[in-house]
Structure 1
Amino acid sequence: MSHKYFFNTLLSVSLILITLVHVHTASAQLLKGSIGIHDPSTIVKSGSTYWIFMTGSKIPSRYSTDLITWTDASVAMPTRPSWIDTAVPNFKNNNDTYWAPDIAYFGGKYYLYYSCSTFGSPVSAIGVATASTPAGPWTDQGMVVQSQTTSNFNAIDPSILVDGSNVFMAYGSWSAGIAVVQIDSSTGKVKSGSTPTRVAGGNGADWEGACLVKEGSYYYLFVNRGSCCNGTSSTYYIIVGRSTSPTGPFVDKNGTDLKSGGGSILLGSSGRFIGPGHVGLLRQAGSNFVSIHFYDGNDNGAPKLDIINMGFSSNWPFLTRDWIAAGTYTIKNVNSGMNWDAWGCTGVIGQAVAQGTASSLTCQKWIFTTTGNGSYQIKTAMSTGNVVDIINCGSANGTKLQLYSALNNDCQKFRVFRTADGSHIFNPVNSEKVVEVPGASTIAGTQLGLWDYNGCTCQKWTITTASSSRLAFEEVNSDDDISVYPNPTARNKGFSVVLGEKEVGMYTRLNLIDSKGSIARSKKIEGGVITFSELNLASGLYIIQLVSENKVVTRKVILE
């Protein structure tokens, strides 16, 4: 949160305090209880419950069991610690509004880091409190770092990285830039002998809201640039740099140091999602759930929580609201085990979209086309090409789904959210409702409809690549004992080719051929198992080519 925009920030905090009273009355936005969440902390899981903390009076918190519905919990800091009055004398005039907290678990307890500051001044401090659970109660442990002038790293916006037995904190806003300092894992304070290292920004430039993440052998520093806290006029956007050390140097894709103004842009304003910022990462059920705030252009710029997806390409992260790649899929209800079905299998206009017993019928295959900001047009794979449509663009509970010709309106676009258990929910862009099997029916032919989200498994769906989107396997010399596992496989992971006993020693080289006929990967064969790992190739069909002195054998593998 910037100190450069006094009046805008003051108005923003007033808006936050007002909207906290109305957290369950937001306009069309599926994440329930998301309004009023500004500068969200990293989401942490304790037992079966997820917790998030945010900017606000006495440090508000909320919890969820599915990452969709968020419920108010107790404030973390009901009483202001006395040390703050000395370190930041004017903080007491700020309604005890703590900024941009972050939470982490290490050393057998939870550590909650928080910022104390005053508008328009670099006089700031970061403190820390501990608890056995995110629900509290929290015991304050005192000050971690402080700042007094613009020549200091402004002591706000803490971000904690737990890296094995080591703990690091990134922090800073404008002023001297972003710093990283090592934290003592036994106290939660700055480790003896460690001093803050500048890793980004400086000279009063607009750098704040850092988040330090490790993935593989790289450390990634996410930072916000632009200005926050001005509703629909906010200009926040997210950039990233990477390093092999948590203290840098961090460079962007062009090799430019973040201390010299570098930074690869990841996410900016798009549609209703204005001024995205303050990255936090939760790894859960094989997914990267990234928490950010944005200012809702459809709701007078109210600050809200968004949870988006992060992936990696060539060891660089990307942020997207898309949880599903464009392609052809089947959609199965978690409760009934039945699939979305164009009921009647003709695909004509007006045909009901219902649930049907799972089969290989084309009328149970659906073509997803991205339409931006995590939403999709969903089209039947049948030759008619009609799309899933909300009848009469209704938004009332009980409104049904049908097929209709493509109109490119919001009644034919669905935002797909991923829940904590890896299932998905479908939210039509024109309403707050979700797609469900009415009454949790297990009867084939039940037409799908809309209802308020309530967590019922009848509203949750598993999305699986449809067989029609894969080419049939055609193998040369298929009598040879050669197997590929797993197949299909994730595009950023890998697979193994296993040779039978008589095939070992027969083949000398294995080539992986892409759709253009180029060799994407190649290995000398020196045993019975040939493994490709961390491929980081584009999704699609590839040819596995095994070469011997007198023949070539092929298999096919799909990267998803």
Structure 2
Amino acid sequence: MFLSPTTAAPGVRRATSRFLSGCRASYLLLLLLALLGLSPQARALQGNDNCHDPSSIVKDGNKYWIFTTGQGIYGMYSTDLVKWESGPRPVFAAGAYPSWIKTKVPGFTGDFWAPECVYRNGKFYLYYSVSTFGSSVSTIGLATNVTLDPASPSYQWVDQGEVVSSGSGSACNAIDPAIVTDASGGLWMSYGSFFKGIGLIKLDATTGKRSGTSFTWLAGNVAADGVSRSNSGSEAPYIVRNGSYYYLFINKGACCNGASSTYYIQVGRSTSITGPYRDKNGVDLNRNGGTTLIATQGNYVGPGHVGLYQENGANFFSHHYYDSNQNGRARLSVGNLGWDAAAWPFLTRDWLAAGRYVLRNQSSNLVWDAWGCTGASGQAIAQGTYSAGLACQQWNLTPDGNGEYKIASAVGAALAADVVNNSPANGAKLQLYAYSGIAGQRFKIERTNAGNYVVSSVNGGRVVEVPGCSATAGVQLALYDYLANNCQKWGIAPAPAAREVLAAQTPTLRNVSVFPNPAELGRFVVSLDEAARNTPVTITLTDTQGRTIYSRASVGAAVVPVETGLRAGLFLLSVSSAQGSYTQKVVLQ
């Protein structure tokens, strides 16, 4: 199939988009910005976050890796899930591609699409796609390695050959692989892009390659007869198992058009790995169903190609998007996946709920302090020695969308954290000032792998740090380039005064119970009486440092299942509603 530069068609990802998704595009973009005298706009993540069709995040040692579309399979890594760097070399060196690929896809030129990487059996399994534009002549291959560290003497990618292929007459296009393990330990691969939809095949648990010939359709556009299939707009499948359900995430719309992309993510669920997957309205994804999880929001245009990584009680949900503030550049986003009372997923880029918090530096152990405690406009924001209940060390965080926050002082009417003169420069200092919503008064808050946070100015993306890593109280906070050191990381916990008030309250929700307690594998249920369950109820868990690490809402349920995925420890459970509140210590083991 021939495509003009402005025409999209089923099964097609334009060559221009594949070029723009690689690292070459970042060099060209930065060069263009320099020539035009432009400064980069707000960054969500730090470092080199250029990315298209990201794999799910996979960890090796102290590094987290993502593989993306690009020549030879492009890789990027992070040590904290915030700052990303380009890998030193692609998986396959230029010209050293597996020879079998050309027999399946004669038009192959070294551009690999939409890889996926998983760890099992003591090694990493990297699945990759190869195709030609405008055609279903495609193949999915597999390479393995015992390490992802290019500096290791054991580092060597071994190609294992073909997993599945498609031809010009095939109904399911063999690209966009995603791997999932079922409740019984069985290994499966979903794949597909446009044409007749999304399919599922069984894999051998040892080799990682196809086992048998079974094939199941998961999503598409089945005709009224229930058998024949029309062309489908579905691609980029990804299956997650959570509780008693399997969740199938897919993409619809048009990718690869930069800021004009219309890509969006939908989801359906099933109690069986093989489906049927139905949306919130009960419509089968095979009949063009799907509940939209996330679409374009602000400068986050055309989100797509999801993955889920879980660690330390957090659900890091990765996907690419096109940044409308950056000429539609394809970038990586890592959001916060949660589950509602009906066990449906929701996605937010906010890591903290609105509330009053204390921000503690991970190097000095000192806290954000409106220095002088007068609440006057222009007062410096410095680090201070912590004093429980001191209002000028407490900050009201208000989400402003897409992970951005207003950070207002608990002292001083309508005063908020402000970068002096709205400057994006290194060394720009923080002060209190009347809030107007300008970029220098809005801050992006990202969660790290360790559960602390990085706070960056929306104006330019530099982060709040303690200058010089000082341990001296009174040092004014300022913006600097992100180096991923502890001077730039903050523990953010609810203000102790709020916790003390909570502890002093006499619970008005009388008939609340938790079972079992201690709880195994982070799972327990909360039973509510009629008064509680007839109004919206919020259930939260906080750790011993006061950090909220789990939250869910419920309406009308007498028994609310809680599946935290947390490691063993002591936590405080809070149940709150219009009828009152209830708190109890919960032990996970």
TM range (shorter): 0.7 to 0.9
CA shift in 2, pair 1:252/1:458, >3 Å? same
2:10–2:195 contact (8 Å) kept in structure 1: no
Deviation of the 1:72 alpha carbon: 2.2
1:203-282 maps to which residues of 2 (within 5 A)? 203-282=230-309
Whether contact under 8 Å (2:243, 2:563) holds in the other structure is no
Task: State the match for 1:437 in structure 2.
Answer: 466
Separation in 2, partners of 1:484, 1:156: 46
The answer for unaligned runs of 5 or more in structure 2 is 1-6, 32-39, 150-154, 222-229, 538-554, 565-572
Quote the residue 2:371 is aligned against. 343
1:165 equivalent to 2:185? Answer: yes
SS in structure 2 at match of 1:122:
coil
Q: Is 1:177 matched with 2:200?
A: no
SS in 1 for 2:332: strand
Q: Distance in 2 between matches of 1:496 and 1:237?
A: 35
2:91 to 76, 83, 97: 76
Q: What is the CA-CA distance between 1:220 and the residue it aligns to? A: 0.7
SS in 1 for 2:17: helix
Q: Where do 1:39-438 residues align within 5 Å?
A: 39-73=53-87, 74-78=89-93, 79-91=96-108, 94=109, 96-135=110-149, 136-149=155-168, 151-163=170-182, 165-192=185-212, 194-202=213-221, 203-313=230-340, 314-359=342-387, 360-382=389-411, 384-438=413-467
Residue 101 of structure 1 aligns to which amino acid in structure 2? P
CA distance in structure 2 between the partners assigned to 1:316 and 1:517 by the alignment: 17
Paired letter, 1:201: G
Distance 1:56 1:557 in 2: 51
For 1:36, the equivalent position in structure 2 comes to 50
When normalised by structure 2's length, the TM-score is: 0.81
SS of 1:253 mapped into structure 2: coil
Contact map agreement 1:391 1:400 (CA 8 A) in 2: yes
Q: Which residue of 2 aligns with 1:541?
A: 576
- Unmatched 5+ stretches in structure 1: 498-508, 524-531, 546-553
Q: Is the 8 A contact 1:39 1:278 kept in 2?
A: yes
**Residue type at the aligned position of 2:483:** N
In structure 1, distance between residues paired with 2:400 and 2:523: 27
CA distance in 2, matches of 1:342, 1:20: 39
Q: Is the 8 A contact 1:228 1:236 kept in 2?
A: yes
What is the alpha-carbon distance in structure 2 between the residues aligned to residue 358 and residue 486 of structure 1? 37
Tell whether the 8 Å contact from 1:543 to 1:555 is kept in structure 2 after alignment.
Answer: no
Q: Does the 8 A contact of 1:433 with 1:451 survive in 2?
A: yes
Task: Indicate if the aligned counterparts of 2:533 and 2:558 stay in contact, CA closer than 8 A.
Answer: no
**TM score, norm. by length of structure 1:** 0.85
Provide the C-alpha distance between the structure 2 equivalents of 1:329 and 1:281, rounded to a whole number of angstroms: 28
**Aligned with 1:129: secondary structure?**
strand
Pairwise CA distance, 1:514: 6.9
Task: Confirm whether residue 453 of structure 1 aligns to residue 482 of structure 2.
Answer: yes
Amino acid in the other structure paired with 2:98:
P
Report sequence identity in percent: 44
- Matches of 1:173 and 1:477, distance apart in 2: 53
Check the 8 A contact 1:24/1:32 in 2, yes or no.
no
What letter is aligned with 1:62?
A: M
Tell me the amino acid that sits aligned with residue 92 of structure 2: M
Provide the rounded CA distance (Å) in 1 between the counterparts of 2:536 and 2:116: 49
The verdict on how the C-alpha distance between 1:154 and 1:483 changes in structure 2, with shifts beyond 3 A counting, is: closer
Task: Give the match's secondary structure for 1:134.
Answer: coil
Larger Rg: 1
Matched residue, 1:549 = none
Amino acid at match of 1:108: G
Q: CA RMSD in A?
A: 3.3
Quick one: distance in 2 between partners of 1:186 and 1:535?
30
TM-aligned CA distance change 1:117 to 1:475, over 3 Å: closer
AA matched with 1:386: L
- Evaluate the alpha carbon distance shift between residue 336 and residue 122 of structure 1 in structure 2; reply closer, same or farther with a 3 A threshold: same
Note the C-alpha offset of 1:36.
3.1
| SS class of match (2:562) | coil
Looking at structure 1, the residues matched to 190 and 358 of structure 2 have their Cα atoms a distance apart, in angstroms, of 43
Q: 1:342 to 1:150 in 2, by over 3 A?
A: farther
Amino acid at match of 2:202: Q
How far apart, in 2, do the equivalents of 1:486 and 1:24 lie?
55
Measure the CA separation in 1 of the matches of 2:259 and 2:131: 24
Where 1:445 maps in the other structure, the secondary structure is coil
Query: Which moved further from structure 2: 33-42 or 242-251?
Result: 33-42
Cα distance change of structure 1 residues 555 and 238 upon mapping to structure 2, 3 Å threshold: closer
Distance 1:256 1:486 in 2: 36
Distance 2:459 2:473 in 1: 27
Q: 2:21 is matched with which residue?
A: 16
Instruction: Give the whole-Å Cα distance in 1 for the aligned partners of 2:205 and 2:29.
Output: 36
User: Counterparts of 1:317 and 1:119 in 2: how far apart (Å)?
Assistant: 33
Q: Report the CA distance between 1:218 and its aligned residue.
A: 0.9
Q: Distance in 2 between matches of 1:297 and 1:495?
A: 43
Q: CA 1:4 to 1:555, structure 2 compared with 1: closer, same or farther past 3 Å?
A: closer
Distance 1:383 1:6 in 2: 57
Rounded Cα–Cα distance in structure 1 between residues aligned with 2:276 and 2:469: 54
* Alignment partners' CA distance in 2, 1:184 and 1:217: 24
Partners of 1:39 and 1:476 in 2: how far apart?
Answer: 51
Change in 2 beyond 3 A, CA 1:57/1:286: same
After superposition, the C-alpha distances for 1:170-193 in whole angstroms (9 at most, x for unaligned) are 10000110011111011111112x
Q: How far did residue 269 of structure 1 move? A: 0.9
SS at match of 1:133: coil
Deviation per CA, 1:422-477: give whole Å up to 9, x if none: 11000111112000111111111111110000011010011111234454445669
CA separation of 1:486 and 1:511: change in aligned 2, threshold 3 A: farther
Shift of 1:362: 1.3
> Given residue 254 of structure 2, which amino acid in structure 1 is its aligned partner?
S
Per the alignment, do residues 348 and 158 of structure 1 end up closer, same or farther by CA in structure 2, a change over 3 Å counting? same
Count of aligned residue pairs for this structure pair: 521
Q: Distance in 2 between matches of 1:411 and 1:515?
A: 43
**Could you tell me how far 1:345 is from its partner in structure 2?**
1.4
Which amino acid counterpart does residue 181 of structure 2 have in structure 1?
V
Q: Name the CA shift for 1:265/1:520 in 2 (closer, same or farther; >3 Å).
A: closer
Contact 1:23 1:34 in 2 (8 A): no
**In structure 1, C-alpha distance between the alignment counterparts of 2:534 and 2:433, rounded to whole Å:** 34
Are the aligned partners of 1:153 and 1:172 in contact in 2 as well (CA < 8 Å)?
A: yes
CA offset at residue 510 of structure 1? 6.8
Local SS of the residue matching 1:258: coil
